[in-house]
Amino acid sequence: MKSEHYSEDGVRVVRLQNIREYRFDATDAAYIDDSYYRTELGGHDVSCGDVLIAGLGDERNCVGRACVAPQGIEPAIVKADCFRFRLDESRAMPHFVATQLTAGAVHDAGVLSSGSTRSRIPLSVMATRRLALPTTKEQSDIVEFLDRETARMAPLIAEGERAIALLQERRTALISAAVTGKIDVRGLAPATAEAA
């Protein structure tokens, strides 16, 4: 796809930034014209429940991370380096597969990826990633447990992120005060370890 194929609305384009660890990020939406999709790209369609996997990573986003295409995404397609897998749900639950792939992404990236500046796993190699598939009942139980525990930890994570933001603000203010001469840093001696 080229920039001229994009439009204000039409068929949703799933890009790397939409595939997050364990979740689909619906922000930063991009679209292509419906007629271009129907004539050129119909075989790359995405449906609700498809497993989406990132074939390209960087220092902040691991290659191989996965999520599930959300309800209401259609019509949609995957862009280059984004892979769509449609599962036989009588054997594998999409949320279980996406969770397992994301949990193993760092290991798999070290074993399966190539690239010096950005890690890449081609589709042919991505399709060889191994999964443990317990019964669908066990898959469901595992997903429910992880969802419950994640929801329980979410407030703690948010509190930690707020504390980090406040500490960063305080650090910035302290540096600014030191640079502008509002505090005297000359009299501060570096901390030394006392001999035991």
Same domain, 151 and 68: no
What is the chain's percent helix, strand, coil content, to nearest 5?
40, 15, 40
Same domain, 84 and 145: no
Question: Between these two residues, 82 and 111, which has the higher pLDDT value?
Answer: 82
In this structure, what is the dihedral angle of CA atoms 95, 100, 101, 103, given to the nearest 10 degrees? 120
Q: Is residue 192 part of a domain?
A: no
Tens digits of residue pLDDT in 50-73: 999 999 988 888 999 999 999 999
- Whether 98 and 30 map to the same domain: the answer is yes
pLDDT at 185 over 70: no
pLDDT of 188 > 80? The answer is: no
Domain presence at residue 193: no
Domain assignment of residue 195, yes or no: no
Assess contact for 62 and 21: CB atoms under 8 A. yes
Q: How far apart are the first and last CA of the chain?
A: 67
**Which segment, 49-58, 119-128, 183-192, is predicted with the most confidence on average?**
49-58
3-state secondary structure 89-114: CCCCCHHHHHHHHHHCHHHHHHHHCE
What is residue 25's three-state secondary structure? coil
pLDDT at position 167 over 80? yes
Nearest-CA neighbor of 15 among 69, 60, 59, 94? 69
57 and 97 part of one domain: yes
Structural domain that includes position 163: 134-183
State the pLDDT at residue 119: 85
Tokens of 18: 């939409």
If asked whether residues 109 and 163 sit together in one domain, one would say no
**Helix or strand (DSSP H, E) at 23:** strand 23-24
Largest CA distance in the chain: 77
Paired sense of beta strands 11-14 and 76-78, if any: parallel
Answer whether 64's CB lies under 8 Å from 112's CB.
yes
Name the domain count of the chain.
2
Amino acid at 175: I
Could you tell me the CA-to-CA distances from 145 to 50, 139, 196 in Å, in that order? Answer: 22, 10, 49
Where residue 8 sits, what CATH number does that domain have? 3.90.220.20
CB-side exposure of 159: number of CA atoms within 13 Å?
5
Least confident piece of the model among 95-99, 122-126, 142-146, 184-188 = 184-188
Which amino acid would we find at residue 165? A
Cα separation, 32 vs 24, in Å, equals: 19
pLDDT in tens, 96-115: 999 999 999 988 888 888 77
141, 45: one domain: no
Whether 41 and 93 map to the same domain: the answer is: yes
pTM: 0.77
**Boundary-marking domain end, from 71, 102, 131:** 131
The answer to whether position 168 is within a domain reads: yes
16 and 84 share one domain: yes
Q: Are residues 111 and 159 in the same domain?
A: no
Residue 160 has a pLDDT of 92
